[in-house]
Structure 1
């Protein structure tokens, strides 16, 4: 059994792809107010928001429990509308040696496609694949879409 893996989930949203990208790139502290049942808090731990190398501390609710994760922004690509976050501390590190999240938006007129790609390495073969996290990311995208469509 392989310990390394990759999971991808795509979510079509009707809200602005530019707004979605900008939110993850420059305003992650606003995300908890848009999806409070999944993400409760986001704080800048180090660096300046919107720059590569900045460190963010997240509080979120997954699989019935409160969790914490610290991420570092590894890449921001304006042309591709993508942000890459690497987990460096927190609950996910209890199961994964590495965990990298890529958030990418493809703009197609009114409809936009958000792609969440997770690359990971499990600590051991008994660790489950992050399927519940992929459902979590779908819910986050839909919550953000719902909020922006209301306003």
Structure 2
């Protein structure tokens, strides 16, 4: 059984991808208001919001549990509407040696597609693949679309 893996989820949204990208880049502290059942809090822990190197502290609800995470922004690409995060602390790192999340918003004609890609390395073969976390991102995307976009 492989310890490293990759998961991808794509969700079509009805509104403009720029708005979704800007929310995650510049205003992640608004996400708890848009999906309070999944995300309870988001605060900038280090650095300046919306800049590479900044660290965000998250309180969220996953798999029936209250969880915490700190994510570091590794890259922001305005032209391609993408943001790369690394989990640097929190509950997920009890199961995974490394955990990276790539958010990309693509616009093709009138269609806007949000792609979440997760790359991870498990601490042991007994750790499940993060499929429930991909479901979390799908639900979060739909909540944001419903309540904001």
TM interval, shorter chain, is over 0.9
Partner of 1:116: 116
Match of 1:25 in 2: 25
Q: For 2:63 and 2:96, locate their aligned partners in 1 and report how far apart those are by CA, in whole Å.
A: 16
Q: After TM superposition, what 4+ stretches of structure 1 lie above 4 angstroms from structure 2? A: none
Q: Give the superposition deviation at 1:111.
A: 2.6
Partner of 1:2: 2
Unaligned runs of 5+ in 2: none
Q: Distance in 2 between matches of 1:15 and 1:135?
A: 21
CA RMSD, Structure 1 to Structure 2 (Å): 0.8
Instruction: After TM superposition, list the pairs within 5 Å mapping 1:1-151 onto structure 2.
Output: 1-149=1-149
Cα separation, partners in 2 of 1:148 and 1:108, compared to 1, 3 Å: farther
Equivalent residues of 1:15, 1:110 under 8 A apart: no
SS in 2 for 1:23: helix
Question: TM-score when scaled to structure 1?
Answer: 0.96
Structure 1: where are the runs of 5+ without partners? none
TM-score, length-normalised on structure 2? 0.98
Instruction: Figure out how many residues of one structure are paired with residues of the other and give that number.
Output: 149
Is the 1:56–1:71 contact (alpha carbons within 8 Å) kept by the matching residues of 2? yes
